[in-house]
Amino acid sequence: MKIKKVKMLLPEIVGRGYKTFWNFRGRYRVVKGSRASKKSKTTALWYIYNIMKHKGANLLVVRKTYRTLKDSCFTELKWAVKRLKVEHLWIFKESPLEATYIPTGQKIYFRGLDDPLKVTSITVDVGVLCWMWIEEAYEVMKEEDFDMLDESIRGECSEGLWKQITITFNPWNERHWLKHRFFDELTGHDAEGKPIYAPRKKPISDDGEILAITTNYLINEWLDKADIAVFERMKRNNPRRYAVAGLGGWGIVDGLIYENWKEESFTLDDIRARHPDLKSAFGLDFGYTNDPTALCCAFVSKKDRKIYIFDEIYEKGMSNKKIYDCIFEMGYRKERITADSAEPKSIDELKKLGLTFIKGAKKGKDSINHGIQWIQDFEIIIHPRCVNFITEISNYTWDKDKFGTVINRPIDAFNHLMDALRYGCEGYMIGNWMM
């Protein structure tokens, strides 16, 4: 196939702030970045450019759940193809998700950890599977899951190729295994034999195998004044959140609200058999531009004091019609859903669309803390596909006053699914199981 040459100035296309990232060839390339830090777009550009440059290279893109790939990495890679003006050289297919470089047949594969056999059983038609991109890696809560992915990049590379895993994620709390593995170094052990870590002083490890960097919105030259204003307001009004969401720092998880929880796979048939008293608890928190609409789908056993989180919606820009369509497609149209009563118009519209059993939460004085206290008396078991719920519950903490003293009020962040859970459980808190 004759390839039409495209003239481009790569620095203009990629932008600034990622020179070391672009040139690094060690095994692990790790980027922790705040919102608007260009980490995903830069990664997508790198892969499209380098697959075309290096004949025989193939890429595997992984997220915790397969269903989240289409609206994230798949879309970013399509964007990168357009930005590089090479649309005529690529085919993107949605069923299953796949991208092919037409001149050579090199491919980009997409897999979710929710189907591990498909991750470890990829056979490429052309060249070698030498590169992997793990997006939103904070979703991978178990280090052994990453080890399984790491081991899947094996075999001999042809000349000019190298094995590399790129790991990108938004700031997460400092307890996550990603911090110790890639951003810290082992300095010794305490009296009990537990390892002691300290932040690595250089972005590249001594053995040259790890590049670990933190990026933020300040290196994004393409943000407009309105985008920057969002971060400036955050800096003034919520310095604690700005340090994480703005500058990309590690979140210091001090004063978690819910600590009695775990991630665990389960089937609805299994938990129904275990808990004859099981009742559904569906809660809906409205959002749109800045906040996501959040639907929490749970089952509650009051007798055994367990809450099972089995599904979720977490998306910005959802109209009421889209909310209805999504709930309908998930098979939950006939469920009793308790929604945020601050939006009665939306509740009425959803009811007219077909959510017959939706109602507004009663709330009331001190309803937030009352709901939290009620839920704290339960063990929360979260299905691995509920990645946004895991994100929120891992970061949902009590707020602090200006002196740093913890106060009896949750932070106004990581609370959309947390609020939805409270709404869903509201009827059960007052003993009315059929509300």
pLDDT tens digit sequence for 123-178: 898 999 999 999 999 999 889 999 999 998 877 888 899 999 999 998 877 889 99
Could you check whether the bond before residue 203 is cis, i.e. omega within 30 degrees of 0? no
Which DSSP category does 182 fall into?
I
pLDDT tens digit sequence for 266-310: 999 999 999 999 999 999 999 998 899 999 999 999 999 999 999
- Per-domain boundaries in the chain: 10-219, 261-429
Maximum Cα–Cα distance for the chain, whole Å? Answer: 72
Given a contact cutoff of 8 angstroms between Cβ atoms, the answer to whether 137 and 33 are in contact is no
Given a contact cutoff of 8 angstroms between Cβ atoms, the answer to whether 308 and 296 are in contact is no
Q: What share of the chain is helix, strand, coil (3-state, %, to 5)?
A: 35, 25, 40
Structure tokens at 252: 């210091």
Catalytic annotation present for 136: yes
Give the model's pLDDT for residue 3. 59
CATH numeric code, 261-429:
3.30.420.280
What is the pLDDT confidence band of residue 405, given thresholds at 50, 70 and 90? confident
Q: Provide the β-strand partners of residue 107.
A: 100
First to last CA, the chain: 65
Whether the predicted model's global pTM rises above the 0.75 cut: yes
Query: Is residue 59 exposed (0-12), middle (13-18) or buried (19+ Cβ within 10 Å)?
Result: buried
H/E run at residue 419? helix 416-429
Placement of tokens 């800096």 in the chain: 235
- Return the CATH architecture of domain 10-219: 3-Layer(aba) Sandwich (3.40)
Which DSSP category does 173 fall into?
B
Strand 210-215 vs strand 28-33: parallel, antiparallel, or unpaired? parallel
pLDDT tens digit sequence for 311-364: 999 999 999 999 999 999 999 999 999 999 999 999 999 999 999 999 999 887
pLDDT tens digit sequence for 49-58: 999 999 999 9
Q: What is the mean pLDDT of the chain?
A: 91
Strand 293-301 vs strand 306-315: parallel, antiparallel, or unpaired? antiparallel
Placement of tokens 């003239």 in the chain: 7
Percent of the chain with pLDDT over 70: 96
Catalytic residue, candidates 76, 135, 136, 312: 136
Strand 306-315 vs strand 379-382: parallel, antiparallel, or unpaired? parallel
Q: How many residues does the chain have?
A: 435
Give the model's pLDDT for residue 155. 75
pLDDT over 60 (residue 262): yes
What is the pLDDT confidence band of residue 434, given thresholds at 50, 70 and 90? very low
Give the model's pLDDT for residue 191. 81
Query: Is residue 347 exposed (0-12), middle (13-18) or buried (19+ Cβ within 10 Å)?
Result: buried
CA–CA separation, 263 and 352 (whole Å)? 36
What is the pLDDT confidence band of residue 7, given thresholds at 50, 70 and 90? low
Half-sphere exposure of 11 (CA within 13 A, CB side): 4
What is the pLDDT confidence band of residue 435, given thresholds at 50, 70 and 90? very low
